[in-house]
């Protein structure tokens, strides 16, 4: 028995906890700095901060090690890190908006899916459209081959109106709808084609953009930031707007929060999943990568649209999940 009254094994365990605290806490501290400081971080930091919600796990482990190690400074640091993680897990500025515009209300079910180079299971997409009674569908990585498979599976009968810009590879997008669609061109200056359309709802119209930003990988960081800024500028400040697609960004990215805040010159926008408490439901990767799940796919609306019934659905043969929600639109 040691003079301190503790057996040797306990003193060794305490010392081990003190040393283990450092490698467990350091990554949490790093991602906390990246998340907190609004800077144009380099590529590894941008990729790392996407996984911020998962750092609550090592933050909790660090707090446990700090108490077992009986070091007050470690306890204080660990408590601060876990507090930051809790604040980012449940941010105060994610909320359901009030419908701001006066006028008649229209509702429709919207869905978005990244088809992974056009390889997604067309029958699965059409079945989901039918089951969820989808009235507006945005597809990213839309290829000519996928278009033909969707037609063969009966999508044109469910959603007969289409604005499509099919491309081989990852660059194409399409918007399908049960209501009349007017082609509004594409967003300028983006790496991938982002289709725009105006949906006729009888009493009014809804502007729709099928969003697909370049992923922040390789040499794509600058273009990713440029794409997100361009998407943010798609809001002209009036009338209902839906941005639906693969933003390749999570709420923990400063660039995505800037888009929602209207820093491109438009209104503050709303992430439907976030407003309904589903911000942390992963949409990627559904296959092919040994990574924790994160939310890259979003339905983002103007504040005169209220969301309900948000859900995430796996579709075979694509690494992204489909996102679906009912949109309640105040039509001027």
Q: What is the CA radius of gyration of the chain?
A: 23
For 23-47, write each residue's pLDDT tens digit.
999 999 999 999 999 999 999 999 9
What is the pLDDT averaged over residues 184-203?
93
Considering the chain, tell me which residue range(s) the CATH 3.60.10.10 domain(s) occupy: 104-331
The two beta strands, 104-114 and 136-140, are: parallel
Which tokens go with 178? 């049960």
Distance CA 50, CA 217 (A): 13
Among 11-20, 86-95, 252-261, 277-286, the least confident range: 86-95
Number of Cβ within a 10 Å radius of residue 89: 14
CB-facing half-sphere around the CA of 62: CA atoms within 13 A: 27
Q: What is the pLDDT, as a whole number, of residue 4?
A: 52
At residue 292, φ and ψ (nearest 5 deg) are: -65, 150
Nearest to 114 by CA among 136, 134, 138, 135: 138
Fold of 104-331: Deoxyribonuclease I; Chain A (3.60.10)
pLDDT digits (tens, 9 = 90+) for 40-81: 999 999 999 999 999 999 999 999 999 999 899 999 999 999
Residue 5 pLDDT level (bands cut at 50, 70, 90): low
Residue 231, SS3? helix
Helix (H, G, I), strand (E, B) or coil at 53: helix
**Is residue 8 helix, strand or coil?**
helix
Whether residue 284 contacts residue 296, with contact meaning beta carbons closer than 8 Å, is answered with yes
Cβ–Cβ under 8 Å, residues 257 and 287? no
Is the per-residue pLDDT at 96 higher than 70? Answer: no
* CA–CA distance, 8 with 16 (Å, rounded to integer): 12
**Residue 67 corresponds to which tokens in the numbers above?**
């108490």
Q: pTM for this one? A: 0.93
Query: Given this model, what pLDDT does residue 322 score?
Result: 98
Judge contact between 213 and 249, C-beta under 8 A: yes
As a whole number, the mean pLDDT across the chain is 92
The band of 101, judged by pLDDT with boundaries at 50, 70 and 90, is: very low
Within the chain, residue ranges assigned H as helices are 8-36, 43-49, 56-69, 72-89, 122-132, 144-152, 155-158, 221-232, 254-260, 272-275
pLDDT exceeds 50 at position 3: no
């Amino acid at each position: 028995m040691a003079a301190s009254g503790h057996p040797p094994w306990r003193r060794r365990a305490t010392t081990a906890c003190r040393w283990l605290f450092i490698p467990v806490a350091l990554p949490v501290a790093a991602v906390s700095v990246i998340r907190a400081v609004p800077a144009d971080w380099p590529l590894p930091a941008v990729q790392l901060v996407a996984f911020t919600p998962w750092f609550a796990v090592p933050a909790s482990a660090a707090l446990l090690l700090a108490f077992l190690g009986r070091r007050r400074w470690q306890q204080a640091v660990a408590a601060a890190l876990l507090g930051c993680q809790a604040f980012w897990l449940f941010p105060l500025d994610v909320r359901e908006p009030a419908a701001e515009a006066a006028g008649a209300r229209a509702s429709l079910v919207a869905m978005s899916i990244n088809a992974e180079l056009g390889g997604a299971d067309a029958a699965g997409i059409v079945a989901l459209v039918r089951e969820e009674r989808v009235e507006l569908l945005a597809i990213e990585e839309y290829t000519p081959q996928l278009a033909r498979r969707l037609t063969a599976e009966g999508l044109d009968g469910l959603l007969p109106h289409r604005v499509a810009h099919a491309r081989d590879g990852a660059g194409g997008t399409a918007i399908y709808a049960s209501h009349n669609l007017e082609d509004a061109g594409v967003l300028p200056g983006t790496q991938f084609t982002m289709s725009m359309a105006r949906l006729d709802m009888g009493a009014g119209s809804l502007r729709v953009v099928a969003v697909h930003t370049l992923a922040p990988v390789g040499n794509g960081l600058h273009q990713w930031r440029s794409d997100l800024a361009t998407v943010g500028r798609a809001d002209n400040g009036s009338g209902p707007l839906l941005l639906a697609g693969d933003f390749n960004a999570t709420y923990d990215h400063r660039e995505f929060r800037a888009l929602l805040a209207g820093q491109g010159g438009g209104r503050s926008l709303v992430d439907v999943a976030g407003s309904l408490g589903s911000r942390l439901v992963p949409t990627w990767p559904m296959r092919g990568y040994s990574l924790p799940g994160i939310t890259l796919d979003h339905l983002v609306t103007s504040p005169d649209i209220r969301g309900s019934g948000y859900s995430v659905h796996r579709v075979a043969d694509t690494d992204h999940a489909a996102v679906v929600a009912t949109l309640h639109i105040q039509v001027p």
